[in-house]
Every structure is written in C-alpha cells, then in structure tokens.
Structure 1
C-alpha cells in the first residue's frame, strides 16, 4: 500500500491503491481536510515570484490553502501559539511543480497511470495537464486524486477536436472504445459545418477544462472553435501545426498554448500540407542557429498575445521512440537539438514557455519525467535554472488555467509545496533531494515512495 505521512497531524482522508494491480480503495472515508493551523518555519523560500531565495520564511497553512507567507521575525505570536510548527531550518521550499504535457490513458491502463502519478507526486509534481486521452479513465483518475484515494497530482485535462481525416489514427479507436472515433464527447470530428457551440458544450460536459486542437484543421475552423471555447470559459491547447493550419495561423486563431517546438519548423513554408498528404522533409539548416527569421516574427506575435509554447524538447530525443507526438517528422529531421535551438530562440524572444514531457522515463528511474525535460531545457535550449523552474510552476499553472490556485507560494493559493535539502537554483539535480511534498495541505514524505516495477509500466 502507498502510505501518506501523518506526522504533522494533518488528516489524510485516503485509502490508496493496491499495487498488486487492481488499484481499488476499500471503503475510503469522505475527503475532509483538517482546519488545523500548520506553520512551516525558518525555510529558505523560492516562491516562484522572486529570482532570489528568501531566508527564514514561514508558510502558514490551514486546510488546503496557504493562509500567510511571512518572515519569521514578523510572525504573529498568537498564530504561533495556535499552530503546529514544523522546523525547516536549512531546508528549501519551492512551489509544487506541474508537468504541462502528459498522456494518462492512450490507451487506458490504470496500473501504469497510477504508478506514473505516484512517481510524480513523491518527486514534487503536484499537478499535471493531460493533453487528451480517454477521458472516462482520466476523469476517474482526477476524481481519485482529488479526494485522496490515490497518491497523485491534480489532473487538468482536454477534450480533443480534429478534422475527420485524423480519426483514421489507431489511437482514436483505443481512446473511444465502445463508441465511434470522432463521435464521442471527448474526441470529436469537426468541420466548417459543425455546430461549434454544441460541440464545445459536449466537450465541457466531460469536465474537461480545455479543448485540444490536433490536426486536419483549417485556420478558420481553429478560430471558430477557439472563440466559442473561450466564450464557454474553456482554454484551447493546440498542436503548433494543424495541417493545413501553420503555426502563425494557429497563434492568430487565439489559442492559449501551442505544443511541440519541432512542429514549428513548418512556419517558413508558403503552404503547409494537409493531414492526408505525405509529409515532405524540412531543411533543418535554418533552425540550428536559433535565429530563424520566420520564427522571430512568430515569436514576436506570441509574446504580444501571451501565447505559451509547450516545447516538449525531450519528446524528440533519441530515447523517446514511444513518444505520442504526431504526425511524426521524417527520421533525421527535427530532434531534441533542433527543438532545443527553437525553444532557446523563443525564450530569448520573451515567449512564455511551460515544461511538459509527452513521454515516459524508464520504470527504474525513481524521479518524475519532468526532470528529463528540465535537462533538455538547460542543455539544448540554454535556459537558466530560474526560467526552467518558472516554466514548471507559474507558466505551467497559467497553461493549465490554474494560475489563481497554484504556481507560486502565496497567501490564498493551494498549499502545494516541495521541501528540498538543497537549492535547485544552483543545480537542477538538487530537485532530487525531496524530503516531502505537500499537495492541498496533505503531506507525503519521500521515504514512503514505493519504486515502480516493470509490471507497473508494461502490464495491461
């Protein structure tokens, strides 16, 4: 059984997954977070708002939320008397991290999903953005995480819309089992004749917080869906090229994020092929230096609009043969080196960049997939550690539409925190010094982490 630590007397209403493979909780109690005051005292705080750490800081938590963030010298004596204090002298506290691009159910595999989510939460990832899967499975995972039945980050997810030609992809059959691909509320085929208001309402009825635009989509259709989704208070997350809509047309449609730096190589083309046409190779020479003129114009527009780049550099590395990024570019074309150069150009242009993975690390890796993307952002894109951490906190929270509740350590936000023994701004590997993750006020000690097994990842 996965164990949630109770040493601070914060009530954890959870009966966690049976890792023999059935993943069912026995008579879970109703979720009822404690209203007890807890103070994390004397921490060195990297709050996600300031570039420099602040020493001797106190974080006052009540229930799910942060009540106060204050210098220890300024802490009210009455608050201290009323609270349970945890001394974090010599420790570092950062906001809970967010993986902005995961796939938890293509096809559904409950054991694998829970294992990956378990690895995430015990490694400091307190929320993920699921980029369209079988939402029947994802919705149940999201509920189980929220009420404390499983040890997992919060899950925010998208329903998918694409043109009819996309639904020949075999993955759409896997994620629509029992229904017809393109005709289920979480994966809809759309054209210029679609009742857009109805389609978005059906997607919203799945409890998705966003629409994902995938492929076989014209600029006009993308713009219509985006406008209606925003009217119904949903985010729009799009692939950077929608075949035939090119990146600048996707951005002009008003989407909130565009995914995959490598898909931006289509921007200089006069005409982008349709989804059904064979992919033509792209000359990568103009992208290697990180100073492509067409992308410079695109990035200026993205900066002006506040469009976020979900770069997923690691998804194109040599060890990611199983990446779900589609449609694939021809072998030997865009890779993590070129994707990194593109991402570095975007960063220098002032584009907001989130941190997402779109891939799974080996089961023997005890740390979240997100750390692989961090390494790529550092090495291939040349991003500084402060920007990388911000990509996984403030920017990722905005990408998920959750910036009011997470992404920084501030009064009023959810108590999503990570306690480290070393400063991650000095070295990203210091993110592997997790002592404890707090999600919605509930504490999970790293020592309670149960490593993944091969069966967790491969068993169906």
Structure 2
C-alpha cells in the first residue's frame, strides 16, 4: 500500500483551492431577491465563490496568476436545480450519463433523485462529485411505502437481484417495522432523504418523519400518500411534497376517501377549475406556515399529453395539465415555496434538459414571473433538499455554481437557452463542447414517470 493505485481519471473535478478565476463584467441576478447588478465580478477560488464585487472594487491579495474571464454583455444566474429526477428506473449507465452530461452543459448543477436503484445512483453521484463524469451534484432519496405498493413493476426494476421492500433503499413499512433501524438502513445508502410514497396512513407518515428528522435526514413525500391525504402529509412535517395535482385530493369528499395508491378517489376537475376550494386554501396556508416546499412537476402532464398513444390518455393528460396550472398558480399566490422539478427527461435530440420546459410552463401557464421562476429553479430547489447553505445563490462562501447566458433571461424565459458556459464547483463547462445526443448509444430517453 506504499504506492496506491491512482484510480480512474477525474477530468471534471473541481479545481484545487488557490486556483483563482475572475469572471468580470457580468450582469448578475444572484438569486437572493436583489435586482440584477451590472459590471460585476465573481471571484472563484477552487470550488467556491470568494467574493462578488463591482468590477472596480476587486479584493486585495489576488494571486498574480489569477485567470480573468471577460463576461461583458453576458448575464449570470445561479446554477439551476431540477428537484425531481429519476436516473435509474431501470438502471442504464449510458443513458444516465448522457442525461447528466446534457444537464450540466445545459446549466443544471444539482438534482434531486426521487428514488431509484441506489446501488446505481450512488455510483453516479460519486462520479459527478469527484469529476470522473460530467454532471450535476446528485442528492437522492431512499423510499418507504406500505407493503401493497411493492408489486409495482418499477420496484422490481430498481431491486434487481433482491426482493423489493426488503432492501435499504426501498423498504416496506408496517406497524411492526423498527423505524429507527429502517431509517438508519436508509441513511446507510448516503441518501439525503427518505421518500414517503404510498399506502401509508397519516400517523405512520408522521412517525417516519419524526424518526428521520431525529436522525438528521430529510423527508420528501408524495403530496398524497393514500390513505394519508395532503393535509396529513403536510401536518406530519415533511420537508417537501411532490406533484401538485395530488393536492387536489385534499378537496375530495370525506365520504369517499382514497383507500390506497391504486384506489384513488376521482377528482372533480370542473369544480377545481373555478375558484379556489376552501380546503385547498387552508392547505396552502399550512404549507406556507410550515415552509413545506411544493415540487409541483407542473409541466409533466403537458409532456405526457404528447407521449400519449390513445385519445383517452391524451384527454386525461390534458385535464391534469390544466389542473396543474390552476393549482400551481393558486399555491404561488398563497405564498407556497415552489421548486422546479420535472420527473421526466426529453429525447436525446433535444439540446436542453426538461427543466427548461418546466420553467417555461411555470411562466406561461401558471403566470409566475420569470424572476420568481428562476428562484424556483435555484434557491427554492436548494431548499427542497436542505442544501441552501451550499448552493442556490451566487454569494461568497457558496459553491461556485452559476450559468453564463448570452441573452437576458428576465426579458424572456426562452433566453435561458442561450448558455455560453456553466461553472459547477468552479469547473467551467463550455457549451460549445457539448454535442446533442452524444453517448446515448441509441437508447430510449423517455423518463420513468413517478406519479
């Protein structure tokens, strides 16, 4: 062991501390809520931001070999965060790596993976973290659900070689479960959170959440867990809930509760398309007061409408898309923190990741101002995974994660698709180095939708 092997190359690793780069002349929208600042310099030292100052006020003591990158006329925003992805249902290494490459070269510097085969995702997370492969940082969840959920074919896809419901990353929870042990097993996968999925009552969701928080790990949940309704999920204290259309189950007649994930009560689309339902008003207020992040995946159903292969499926997706737009707009107006998540990925020939479509949906269909949507995909995305101390804004001390744009994103959300380069943990990724569809090897790029 005197001469350990060097291991695999890490061409995308963060530069070492002491490597100083000055990004000068930017118009910076830093994500803090402050207005855009012109003629701004971002001083990067290694993987972190050392200072953000006016061009004429550079800090003293900069090394003589510091590199200067001229950004005159360009716009900078924080690195984007997709708060709902699935990289390994089922595992497919070439496909996952192609998605990760497109994401980071497209401005996405971090993602939440919302339950997968964590044997695979853990290796991908290590690879992007140490720089073996290009990609965003990956924060991921281990799943917990009631036993009835584990005949779902996706649970077999992510537990190949083992039995679904009995592995640390995918556990069936009953009244007999030793929750401290179950949470400890999930933590052992290096997961950021427990994902609470299906077939659990409100008391069990609350017990899982309390134990997870006691052990220092977050809880991410479906907005309705069946039989637990959205109000019970929020009251349990989870950190974030996913899928805005599931919030509609708070308005379902109490005489027709949903008994299980596979037996959801029908939604009255017409009733919810009008004025806000009083139960939803109360739910939004509770989410705002508790700081519960809504991972809306609002544009998911618009994508599903395009993927549908029957008139009935298209009509259902269209109705869900309208419901998603309505409820997301209501939640935003009520002060609920909304993150930008996708739950799918676009085909290989698309030049940018699905997050851009989600952000456009939030602007155009939900009526959220562009600046607020950028916030959804940056600081709120960071908050959705407990990482706001490290990322989400362009500030001294945080990771050097930011996107350089050729056009002003505040003028038009589509100007996000003018990426010049992406800095992730201080490593610069030039957009000109990216080739659409590279490394997919002909794989199908449809996402594994979680709903």
TM-score, length basis structure 1: 0.90
1:309 aligns with 2:261: no
Which residue of the partner structure matches residue 33 of structure 1?
Answer: 15
Say which SS state the counterpart of residue 458 (structure 1) adopts: coil
1:36 is displaced (CA, Å) by 1.5
Which residue of the partner structure matches residue 43 of structure 2?
Answer: 60
| Pairing 1:317-328 to 2, within 5 Å after superposition | 317=302, 319=304
Please give the root-mean-square deviation of Cα atoms over the aligned residues, in Å. Answer: 2.3
1:199 aligns with 2:185: no
Aligned length: 433
1:326-366 alpha-carbon deviations (Å, 9 max, x no partner): xx999368411210110000000000000000012122110
Which residue of the partner structure matches residue 213 of structure 1?
Answer: 196
Which residue of the partner structure matches residue 238 of structure 1?
Answer: 221
| Pairing 1:140-289 to 2, within 5 Å after superposition | 140-269=123-252, 270=254, 271-275=256-260, 278-289=263-274
Contact 1:65 1:412 in 2 (8 A): yes
| Range that drifts further, 117-126 or 447-456 | 447-456
Q: 1:456 to 1:143 in 2, by over 3 A?
A: farther
Which residue of the partner structure matches residue 376 of structure 2?
Answer: 391
Q: 1:356 to 1:276 in 2, by over 3 A?
A: closer
- Name the CA distance, whole Å, in 2 between partners of 1:366 and 1:176: 32
Which residue of the partner structure matches residue 126 of structure 1?
Answer: 109
Q: 1:75 to 1:211 in 2, by over 3 A?
A: same
- Name the CA distance, whole Å, in 1 between partners of 2:307 and 2:196: 21
- Name the CA distance, whole Å, in 1 between partners of 2:146 and 2:178: 14
- Name the CA distance, whole Å, in 2 between partners of 1:112 and 1:255: 32
1:28 is displaced (CA, Å) by 4.6
Which residue of the partner structure matches residue 33 of structure 2?
Answer: 50
Which residue of the partner structure matches residue 444 of structure 2?
Answer: 458
Which residue of the partner structure matches residue 449 of structure 2?
Answer: none
Which sections of structure 1, spanning at least 5 residues, go unmatched? Answer: 1-14, 16-24
Say which SS state the counterpart of residue 371 (structure 2) adopts: helix
- Name the CA distance, whole Å, in 2 between partners of 1:340 and 1:140: 36
Which residue of the partner structure matches residue 417 of structure 2?
Answer: 432
Say which SS state the counterpart of residue 267 (structure 1) adopts: helix
1:249 is displaced (CA, Å) by 0.4
1:445 aligns with 2:427: no
Contact 1:357 1:370 in 2 (8 A): yes
1:411 aligns with 2:411: no
Which sections of structure 2, spanning at least 5 residues, go unmatched? Answer: 1-5, 447-451
- Name the CA distance, whole Å, in 2 between partners of 1:318 and 1:124: 21
Which residue of the partner structure matches residue 329 of structure 2?
Answer: 344
| Range that drifts further, 138-147 or 25-34 | 25-34
1:370 aligns with 2:355: yes
Contact 2:304 2:317 in 1 (8 A): no
Contact 2:196 2:205 in 1 (8 A): yes
- Name the CA distance, whole Å, in 2 between partners of 1:276 and 1:430: 40
